Amino acid sequence: MRANTKQKHVEEKKTNLKVVQTNPIKTTSYNDINLKNWKDYPEVKTDTFWQFPARLREHGHSNDYHGNYIPQLAQQFYQRYTKKNDVVLDLFFGSGTSGIEAVNMERRCIGVELKQELVDSVSTKFNPKQLVTDVNIICGDSTSKDTMEKVKARLEIMGKKKAQFLILHPPYDDIIKFSDKKEDLSNCSSTEEFYDLFEKVAKNGYDLLEEGRFAALIIGDSYKNSEVQPLGFKCMERMQNLGMKLKATIVKDIQGNERAKGRTANLWRYRALAGGFNIFQHEYIFIFQK
């Protein structure tokens, strides 16, 4: 009897060992990174100063639209804060960077864009099947509850009640005019109005984000009336006021990623010397968790 009992324990130990060996996976609830092999992900940034030598211009990406964020940011966000098949919600969709990279990385995306002509243009970057199963583009005002009802309907079609990641890349106040529409945040009559409208968009995004999941705010500051307007930190505070928990404040180097300022560096240097200010070479990425 003792020999049989001992043999049984040995067999149970071997069985348990096999389970450990065949299941070497440990992930969080919000990404697919295997924490048991955490050293295998050197490309995932965990510091607070990000530099990229140039904008990615392959795998469907181009620099044909001013004001879009670089694709490398979406790559970082998706790998760190999403799982395959998750739905990303981008309420300032623009030229479609979020959607393109969602397709590349086997995620899905719902984008809201104010300008119909841009929606039509961006839609050509995806094939008909992708526009049904992977990327949904809604032409609408991201401050509007009616638009959010359309987002909810798309989420339901995609089998989700809420989104698993939120991206907000608003205009930097009135630095660049994106349209002549009054709903456009770049057309606000004052910076305070810009903050108020941004908060409406952020609130809509917050309401449609799954509990415990993450959001990214990409924004830079501006100069107005001979002084710095701290757009980044003011918008960050508005999101905190909604109940978002701030997880990271990242400074991103924008040198080489701008289209106009980099080509007129000498003029900007003269203006800086004459006006007593410094030239922006960074923008912010704020990471939040609901």
Enumerate domains of the chain plus CATH numbers: 68-289 (3.40.50.150)
pTM: 0.87
Nearest-angstrom CA–CA distance, 36 and 46: 17
Q: Exposure string (b/e) for 153-169, b if CB count within 10 Å is 16 or more?
A: ebbeebebebbbbbbbb
Q: What angle do CA 35, 31, 245 make, to 5 degrees?
A: 105
Q: Which helix (H) or strand (E) holds 137?
A: strand 135-139
- Residue 56, pLDDT above cutoff 70: no
**pLDDT (average), residues 258-283:** 77
Q: What is the pLDDT of residues 89-131, one digit of tens each?
A: 999 999 899 999 999 999 999 999 999 999 999 999 999 999 9
**pLDDT (average), residues 177-203:** 92
Give the three-state DSSP class for 20.
Answer: helix
**pLDDT (average), residues 218-223:** 93
How much is the CA Rg of the chain, to the nearest whole Å? 23
- Residue 165, pLDDT above cutoff 50: yes
**One-letter amino acid for residue 75 of the chain:** Q
Nearest-angstrom CA–CA distance, 117 and 93: 13
CB 84 within 8 A of CB 57: no
| Closest listed residue to residue 283, CA positions, set 238, 258, 250 | 250
- At residue 251, what are phi and psi to the nearest 5 degrees? -100, 125
| Closest listed residue to residue 152, CA positions, set 114, 200, 100, 209 | 209
Nearest-angstrom CA–CA distance, 71 and 75: 6
Q: What's the distance, Cα to Cα, between the start and end of the chain in Å?
A: 58
Torsion of CA 74, 80, 84, 88, to 10 degrees: -50
Give the three-state DSSP class for 192.
Answer: helix
Share of the chain above pLDDT 90, in %: 70
**pLDDT (average), residues 78-95:** 97
CB 232 within 8 A of CB 284: yes
Q: 73 Cβ partners below 8 Å, 6+ apart?
A: 216, 218, 252, 285
pLDDT of residue 263: 52
Q: 154 Cβ partners below 8 Å, 6+ apart?
A: 110, 136, 138
